[in-house]
Amino acid sequence: MADLSPQSGKTFVVEHLDPELEEWSSCEYYTIASECHATGAQFLLSSVSPTLKLSEKLQRAKGLNVETRSVEDIYADKKDKVCLLDPAASKDLNPQDGDMFDIFLFGGILGDDPPRDRTSELRKKGYEGRRLGPVQMSTDTAVRVTRMVVQDRIPVEKIPYIDSPELIINKNESTEMPYRYVKGNDGQPIMPEGMMDLIIKDSEKGLGDLL
Ligand SMILES: C[S@@+](CC[C@H](N)C(=O)[O-])C[C@H]1O[C@@H](n2cnc3c(N)ncnc32)[C@H](O)[C@@H]1O
C-alpha cells in the first residue's frame, strides 16, 4: 500500500459506486492511475468489493492503490480535508482549494445523459463540495481537470475544453459524446487509451448509459 499521507502530495480518490467494473470504467481508472503517477499524485480506488475482478491491464497500472474500505472509513479522522467534486455544488473549484484540501473525491460512476445525480450518494456523507463548471465530465476528465486546478493552479474556466465532441466511427457513422473533455495539444478531446475501440464496439447499442 502506498503512503497516502497528505505530506506525500494530493490524493485523488475514486469511490467505485457501480455494482460491476465495466471495461469503460477500467479504461478510465487505468488512465487516472497513470496520470496521477506521472504527476506525483496518489490515486486510490476505494470501495472495491473483493468479488470484483480487475482486468489484468488495470492491475498492472502504475500508481493504482485499491481499497475495499470506503472513503468514509479510510479518512474518518480527516473529513475536513476531503473535497467532493460535485456537479451540484454551489462553488466552483479554484486553485486556492489546493491549500485547503488534501484529498479530492470523485464518484466512480459511468456518465449518463441526462445525469441521474448519483454523486448524491457521496454528497449525503457531508463532504465539502466543489463544482468543475456546469457541464458533466467523465470521471477521468474530472480528475484531470482537478489536478490542473489544484496542482498546476490553472483556474477551471481557463482550461481549454471540447464539449460534446462528434467521434467518427467509420465513413458512414459518427456519434456524439454528450460530455465535456479537456482539449489536448493536438486539438482533440483527451480520452483514455482504448476508449475509442470501446465506443466503436458499442456504437450499435447507443451511448445513453455509457461513458
Ligand atoms: C461521470 S460523472 C457522474 C455524473 C453523474 N451523471 C451523476 O450521476 O452524478 C463521475 C464523477 O465525476 C465528477 N464530475 C463530473 N463532472 C463534474 C462537474 N461538472 N463538476 C464536479 N464534478 C464532476 C463527480 O465526482 C462525479 O461523481
Ligand 1 centroid to residue 93 C-alpha, Å: 13
| 40-70: b (≥16 Cβ within 10 Å) or e | ebbbbbbbbeeeeebeeebeebebbbbbeeb
pLDDT of residue 134: 97
Residue 206: the pLDDT is 55
Residues of the chain predicted below pLDDT 70? 1-8, 204-211
- Closest ligand 1 atom number to CA of residue 111: 1
What pLDDT is attached to residue 30?
A: 97
What pLDDT score does 204 carry?
Answer: 64
Ligand 1 centre to CA of 143 (Å) is 10
Domains parsed from the chain with CATH numbers: 9-156 (3.40.1280.30)
Q: Whose CA is nearest to atom 25 of ligand 1?
A: 106
pLDDT at 1: 45
What is the pLDDT of the chain when averaged over all its residues?
A: 91
pLDDT of residue 5: 46
d(CA 94, CA 6): 19
* Cβ atoms of residues 162 and 184 within 8 Å: no
At residue 202, the pLDDT reads 79
**Ligand 1 centre distance from Cα of residue 201 (Å):** 24
Question: Each residue of 129-147: pLDDT tens digit?
Answer: 999 999 999 999 999 999 9
- Report d(CA 163, CA 58) in Å as an integer: 28
Ligand 1 site: residues with CB under 6 angstroms?
Answer: 85-87, 106-107, 109, 111-112, 115-119, 131-133, 135-139, 142, 211
Instruction: Kindly report, residue by residue over 171-211, the tens digit of the pLDDT.
Output: 888 889 999 999 999 999 999 999 988 888 877 665 455 45
Separation of CA 172 and ligand 1 centre (Å)? 32
